[in-house]
Structure 1
Amino acid sequence: MIRLGLAALVLFAHSFYLAGAGVGPHIRGENLGGWAVAGFFALSGFLITGSRLTNGLGEYLVHRVARIYPAFLVCLLVTIAVFAPLGYLHQNGSLEKYWSTETTPLRFVFSNLFLQMRQYDVSFTPASVPFAGSWNGSLWSLYYEFLCYLVIATIGGLAWVRRSPVPMAVAFALSVTLYANLSALKPFINDVDFSLLAKLLPFFLGGALVQMLSSRIGLHWIAGLGSVVIVAVSVYAVPSWGGQLASPFIAYGLLWISSVLPSPRLIRVHDVSYGFYIYAWPVQQLLALYGVHGKGLAIYLLASCAGTLVLATLSWLFVERPVMRLVRRRRKNRDATGQPVPGDDVNAPTAEVQVHEEPATVGGR
């Protein structure tokens, strides 16, 4: 439920950009979508590190790919099969040359096939919208999330990392130091990918550190409320990298909130948060294409949430859950042959976020 709330916050933040209504609320130069992505990465760091500690490298990677990639690929295909044709038809009156225009649909799929978003438009659509040229600005964060998975895959396999939380604390401190001094490194590594990974990795490692400490600290309401206060003070006292510095407390605070906030069983059983994150932007662009954003931000938001929820549910029922069940079945078959298999975590979510944050502006890139 917390992840779904964060995905909805990303949708809310993007609504201002996609409706041409300004940039929306910001906290210390970052819009609410960016802070939601930070929360995604912190939670993901906690969950994915738990997966790495209970799984061998091969099983861990199978779970991570199964959870993030099939739904991503289907989202690309839905974009060129549904969203972009509707946009092209609206702009040109027919689908003639849709498949052969310079930025072709197949080029869109193959350019983005390995999670790194290199092309956002399809056949020069969407064009007649306030935020033109992008069918899905949210997907950019998934590439950096998977890079974080690989970081944990590497360091999580070291025995001395598993024995003590100290190495993870050192890795987290180094990641914060790197981001805090990023401007000094730009003359040597002036690369967008490096900068975005440096920005997001501390959130992920902050969550990972909480996972390493979880058996020792537990969850308590005093520590939970204290974490919220520490995050607020850190963000306002250290404008440029206070969020990264406070990321363990972001993870702990969100985990504490999730332990006390009631969650409907329907949401606990059907995790539509990832689908909500990856489909929100194209739904909002399509609605803007047909002028719904002109009826007021409230109506635009409600219509966006309703349409996104439908696609997120379909993604869960027909893509995400079947793939995870297939992974479970594979594990059970291996168990039946007597082969040792580490713990199963295929329900551990990604984020989606998710920073992302910011999608090619989730969080405001």
Structure 2
Amino acid sequence: MLPSARQVARRAVTAVPLSNAYAGRANSFGFLRLCFAVAVVLAHTAVIGYARPLTEVVDVAGLGVAGFFGISGFLITRSARRSSLPRYLWHRALRIWPGLWVCLLFIGLVVAPAVWYAERGHLDGLWRHPAGVVNFLQANWWGGYRQQGIVDVFRDTPYGDQTRRSVLDGSLWTLSYEIFCYLIVAALAVVAVLRRARWLVLVAAVLVFGLLCWNQYETLRFGGSTYFTSGSLGPLPLLGGLSKIWFLRFGFMFLVGAVADLYSDKLPINDVLGIAALILTGWQTLEGHLFGPALLAYEYAILYLAVRLPRLLHSVGQKNDYSYGIYIYSFVVQQTLAWLGAAAWGFVGYFAVVMVFTVVLAFLSWHLVEKPALRFKDWTPRLRRSAPPSGGAVEQPRQREPERAPVAEPVPVAADAPAHRS
């Protein structure tokens, strides 16, 4: 029986706390992650295959990546509050590094040698070159995208001609931002801010929002970023340099997601606010101003959709999460197919074949690497297992939270320069 108009209107204005609306696995975060990953692939299809943006106004890839950070901030903060620090760091390491390591090995030991050999008929000069395979693996092994290419592999693709350098997997550049956000949450957990002083996180979000507003004002008035958002942070150990402006944008989405979790008992969710947030986000995105104060509305829209989308979508990504694999493999698949001339098949044909190969690699990554690695989530070193209780709090069994697969905007960033938008 369909609800009456009065029932629909009553629900639209009735607010419930996010803590009540969000119940374990009854959410659409997996579906949203998949949508964000496909958005990144779609945007890069135009950039990599045809050396042009998908649209002149809307940063589709940036929209997808910011969405990933918004989801991550919410879920990762929940994980940090419910786990001990070693367990939290162990979970984050298992989720990022095994999949990344196999992807890097696939690029360095399969893709790059195959392309190099096809063009030269030998593998001389590929391995120990200053920009060779060995240095590529060492520079990027821990999540910092500090070497974008391998010698001149893919230098002759449309994207290589545009950037005038070798770029094998530009999607990896935001992993360093993701990891840095994880470490900040870990630090907040160590000093008990997440448990005893959550108001400090809210204050930080308000201050960063003010900086975001000021940067937007300066950009619209003078056409450039402020001093606080120009240049880069670092270089950080293993991660390299972080662009200040992109750290502000992605970090704000992560921070607001964290606040949403910490104040989920007070954050109201209703249809009026959700639809208003969607309209505001869409309007500012079409105006080219998403990466300003509108990010606050975008985060609310994501949380609203996560708990309000049809239940049919709740199962997407719950058991098998392919979004991370799609994210980390799509760029190199697109470069390989562009090198083979697949862009000549037209945008739709090129995108379709890219998705086929990307999904296959994401499927293999999940079932052969990521999922097996996650089976070690509850592993405990033998010394810790055998140690007698020390009188401290005992970690209780808890419901398994959905895992967040990190993503990144696929356009690479030089260590000494701000990120480029797709």
TM superposition score normalised by structure 2? 0.76
The yes-or-no answer on 1:153 pairing with 2:203 is no
Residue 173 to residue 279, structure 1, CA distance change in 2 (3 Å): same
Aligned counterparts of 2:398 and 2:382: Cα–Cα separation in 1: 10
1:327 and 1:69 map into 2 onto residues whose CA distance is 13
Q: Does 1:135 align with 2:168?
A: yes
Distance 1:363 1:299 in 2: 27
Q: Is 1:293 matched up with 2:343?
A: yes
What is the Cα deviation at residue 67 of structure 1?
0.7
| Higher helix proportion | 1
When residues 176 and 97 of structure 1 are mapped into structure 2, their CA distance, relative to the original with a 3 A threshold, is same
CA distance in 2 between partners of 1:99 and 1:252 (Å): 46
Q: Which residue of 2 aligns with 1:360?
A: 412
Kindly indicate whether residue 73 of structure 2 is the aligned counterpart of residue 16 of structure 1.
Answer: no
The residue number in structure 1 matching 2:366 is: 316
The alpha carbon displacement at 1:221 in A equals 3.6
Alignment of 1:273-292 (within 5 A): 273-292=323-342
2:312 partner SS: coil
Q: Could you tell me which residue of structure 2 aligns to residue 210 of structure 1? A: 260
- Asked whether 1:244 is paired with 2:291, we answer no
CA distance 1:332–1:8, change in 2 (3 Å)? farther
**Is the Cα contact below 8 Å between 1:88 and 1:126 reproduced in 2?**
no
1:104-144 CA-partner distances (Å, limit 9, x unpaired): 10110001122111111113201221112111000011100
Which of 223, 242, 245 is the aligned partner of 1:193? 242
The counterpart of 2:353, out of the listed 303, 308, 318, is 303
1:88–1:125 CA contact under 8 A, matched in 2: yes
Extract unaligned runs of 5+ from structure 1.
none
- Report the counterpart of residue 66 of structure 2 in structure 1: 38
Question: What is the rounded CA distance, in whole Å, between the counterparts of 1:200 and 1:123 in structure 2?
Answer: 30
Question: How many residues end up aligned between the 2 structures?
Answer: 360
Following superposition, the deviation at residue 66 of structure 1 comes to 1.1
- Of the structure 1 ranges 177-186 and 113-122, higher mean CA displacement relative to structure 2 is found in 177-186
Q: 1:203 to 1:187 in 2, by over 3 A?
A: closer
Supply the distance in 2 between the matched residues of 1:237 and 1:72 (Cα, whole angstroms). 32
Check conservation: 1:38, 1:200, Cα contact below 8 A.
yes
Residues 246 and 157 from structure 1, CA distance in 2 versus in 1: closer, same or farther, beyond 3 angstroms? farther
Q: Does the aligned pair in 2 maintain the 1:79–1:135 contact within 8 Å?
A: yes
Deviations 1:223-248 (A, max 9, x none): 43233124335555966513334343
Larger Rg belongs to:
2
2:143 counterpart of 1:91: no
- Bigger shift: residues 311-320 or 228-237: 228-237
What is the alpha-carbon distance in structure 1 between the residues aligned to residue 316 and residue 133 of structure 2? 36
| 2:195 match | 162
Q: CA RMSD in A?
A: 3.0
What's the offset of the Cα at 1:277?
0.5
Q: Alignment identity in percent?
A: 28
1:247, 1:261 → 2: CA distance? 22
Tell me by how many angstroms 1:69 deviates. Answer: 1.3
Provide TM-score, normalisation by structure 1. 0.87
Structure 1 window deviating more from structure 2 (141-150 vs 111-120): it is: 111-120
Once the 2 structures are TM-superposed, how far is the Cα of residue 87 of structure 1 from its aligned partner? 1.7
1: CA distance, partners of 2:293 / 2:388: 49
2:212·2:293 contact (CA, 8 Å) conserved in 1? Answer: no
Deviation (angstroms), 1:80:
0.8
After superposing the two structures, state which structure 1 stretch, 343-352 or 52-61, moved more: 343-352
- Match 1:349 to one of 403, 408, 422: 403
Q: Which ranges of structure 2 fall in alignment gaps of 5 or more residues?
A: 1-30, 161-165, 216-224, 234-240, 414-418
Quote the Cα distance in structure 2 between the aligned partners of 1:45 and 1:60: 14
Contact 2:278–2:301, Cα closer than 8 Å, also in 1: yes
Q: For residue 314 of structure 1, give the secondary structure of its aligned residue in structure 2.
A: helix
| Matched residue SS, 1:193 | strand
Q: CA contact under 8 A between 2:95 and 2:405: conserved in structure 1?
A: no
Distance 1:343 1:123, change over 3 A: farther
Distance 1:150 1:175 in 2: 18
Q: Which amino acid aligns with 2:367?
A: L
Q: What is the deviation of 1:295? A: 1.0
Give 1:61's aligned amino acid: L
Post-superposition shift, 1:78? 0.7
> Larger deviation: 289-298 or 344-353?
344-353
2-structure distance, mates of 1:328, 1:58: 11
1:44/1:350 contact within 8 Å kept: yes
Structure 1 residues 136, 212: CA separation in 2 closer, same or farther (over 3 Å shift)? Answer: same
296-305 or 170-179, larger mean C-alpha shift: 170-179
Secondary structure (helix, strand or coil) at the match of 1:139 reads helix
2:289 and 2:347 map into 1 onto residues whose CA distance is: 33
Rate the CA distance shift 1:205–1:254 in 2: closer, same or farther, 3 A.
Answer: farther
Verify the 8 A CA contact 1:7 1:352 in the aligned structure 2: no
